[in-house]
Amino acid sequence: MPTDPALPHGRPAAEVLAELRALRRADAPTRGGRTFAYVYDAGLEGLDELAAEAYTAFATVNGLDPTVFPSVARLENAVVGAVAALLGAPGAQGTFTSGGTESILLAVKTARDHARSVRGITEPQLVLPSTAHAAFHKAAAYLGVEPVVVPVDPVTFRADAPATAAALTDRTVLVVASAPSYAHGVLDPVAEIAAAAAARGVLCHVDACIGGWILPYLRRAGREVEPFDLSVPGVTSLSVDLHKYAYADKGASVLLHRDAGLRRHQYFAHARWPGYPVVNPTVQGTKSGGLLAQAWAVLQYVGEEGYTALAGRVAEASDRLLAGLRASEGIRVLGEPAAGLVAFTVARYEGGTPDLGLLLHLADEMRELGWYLQPQLSFDGLPPNLHLTLTPATAGQVDALLDDIATALAKARTLEPVSVDPGLAELAAGLDPETLGPDEVAAVLAFAGLGGGAGLPGRMAPVLVLLDALPGALKERLLSEFIGSVFRI
């Protein structure tokens, strides 16, 4: 494994590749349907090889300047055109980006600059449900926009449309709905939220990074799907990730605007310097054409019928998983999952209060059995849960997954409960994240089992129980310091 940051005199290619393959073996598997977060596996033979060859063919093409590399414009127009045909409205225009976060950053920038230009707003606000993706808060922090968070319905976990409408002010530049939300996989009432935004002259963005490419194909496969895209009056922009349910490699996303006039506010142009005139549609300037090429290739290879069939496989897997979970004692599925994402919580007995320690023991036991289910902590009265992202590759794994959940949950119920010492919780509540020194941060991290540069512990339940009990700002400070300790030479 690499230990010396200094470059060698040069090594044989076979040796370099062997070391990369050795590093890769320590990662969670990205194929085979046992990792239920971060990866999207179509289970189609030859798809990975196609994407890799397409990337290689365009890896050295610089997407910065389509006048020098006209293939970039042709491929991007084809990809964005396919997305607009599926999700757009007449006149919709868009941009290929590096992922959902960049698409969301650009959507917030567009709204901020549009409101400044058209409505004279200089202190912009962003209204969003509490379940909106963290990328919106990142965009707000980067762009100087104030987030206004609206609690969601505690039973359905959907955005509260009347409360969202009531939160709009003369400073609101953008309102957000999710299709679906990442945390619970439920579809927000897009039409109601968009109508309220339009009535106030506010732009409305639909975060369809997860669902944008699967929801239309679920509809074609015979499932009922509420309208959510640019065909809905009042929706002015939409983001969809092609590296999710379109099964392209990361990162590949598209941001659509209702018209070219809105998209203009997304761009950055600068000609007042002695170098070449700069026009950037995205946050990135120089970028490889490889990711665009592989996304185009994957869309061409799978095609309309292929995506409809793959969506049907996800829906079938979801049906069987939800039925199995709902039949399991002490397990409660959260909300009504709309597009392949499932969240469930567990209790000590049927109808009981969600038990965080039991839930986290279950996650650890499942990892021991070779599955990765993503723990999500409690927030604002919403229960902690385990999150699963279903893909076509999981369709054949559902029965084995349910069997192992039953086994792991039975084992988890026998384990010593994990809890936070009340004195420690009281002490942590009094800490100011802004004034903590390096030694104090290191001490808290060490107590949490995250210190000393040793990486993550084998079992995460004790760590996550502690994190769940900490105030949000302190939790964020500690997590930032921990990641900083991971990426340290």
Read off the pLDDT of residues 58-71 as tens digits, 9 standing for 90 and up: 999 998 888 898 99
Answer whether residue 425 shows pLDDT above 80: no
Rounded average pLDDT over 200-224: 96
Answer whether residue 429 shows pLDDT above 80: no
pLDDT attached to residue 423: 72
Computed over every residue of the chain, the mean pLDDT equals: 91
User: Which of 241, 237, 229, 224 lies closest to 182 in space, CA to CA?
Assistant: 241
466: confidence class by pLDDT, cuts 50, 70, 90 = confident
In percent, the amount of the chain with pLDDT more than 70 equals 97
pLDDT attached to residue 3: 53
Answer whether residue 399 shows pLDDT above 60: yes
Sequence-distant (6+) residues with CB within 8 A of 486 are 455
Give the span between the Cα atoms of 310 and 304, in whole angstroms: 10
Answer whether residue 391 shows pLDDT above 90: yes
pLDDT attached to residue 221: 94
pLDDT tens-place string over residues 235-283 = 999 999 999 999 999 999 999 999 999 999 999 999 999 999 999 999 9
pLDDT attached to residue 40: 93
Higher pLDDT, 207 or 65: 207
pLDDT tens-place string over residues 288-308 = 999 999 999 999 999 999 999
pLDDT attached to residue 35: 84
Give the span between the Cα atoms of 448 and 470, in whole angstroms: 11
Give the span between the Cα atoms of 75 and 396, in whole angstroms: 35
Q: Which helix (H) or strand (E) holds 253?
A: strand 253-257
pLDDT attached to residue 481: 78
Q: Which helix (H) or strand (E) holds 461?
A: helix 461-469
pLDDT attached to residue 440: 75
pLDDT attached to residue 447: 66
Give the span between the Cα atoms of 73 and 14, in whole angstroms: 36
Rounded average pLDDT over 115-124: 97
Answer whether residue 2 shows pLDDT above 70: no
450: confidence class by pLDDT, cuts 50, 70, 90 = low
How many other β-carbons are positioned within 10 Å of the β-carbon of residue 333?
A: 19
pLDDT tens-place string over residues 9-58 = 889 999 999 999 999 988 888 888 888 888 899 999 999 999 999 999 99
Domain boundaries, the chain: 55-298, 304-414, 422-486
Answer whether residue 459 shows pLDDT above 90: no
pLDDT attached to residue 448: 63
User: Tokens 């310091």 identify what position?
Assistant: 481
CATH fold of 55-298, please? Aspartate Aminotransferase; domain 2 (3.40.640)
Rounded average pLDDT over 164-189: 97
Q: Which helix (H) or strand (E) holds 333?
A: strand 331-333
Q: At CB < 8 A and 24+ separation, what contacts does 89-94 make?
A: 89/230, 89/231, 89/258, 91/258, 91/259, 91/260, 92/230, 92/256, 92/257, 92/258, 92/259, 93/256, 93/257, 93/259, 93/260, 93/262, 93/263, 94/254, 94/255, 94/256, 94/257, 94/263
pLDDT attached to residue 178: 98
477: confidence class by pLDDT, cuts 50, 70, 90 = confident
pLDDT attached to residue 442: 75
Sequence-distant (6+) residues with CB within 8 A of 425 are 469, 470
How many other β-carbons are positioned within 10 Å of the β-carbon of residue 19?
A: 13
In percent, the amount of the chain with pLDDT more than 90 equals 73
Question: Domain 304-414 maps to which CATH number in 3.40.50.2000, 3.30.565.10, 3.90.1150.10, 3.30.70.930?
Answer: 3.90.1150.10
Answer whether residue 336 shows pLDDT above 70: yes
Give the span between the Cα atoms of 431 and 77, in whole angstroms: 52
Answer whether residue 233 shows pLDDT above 60: yes
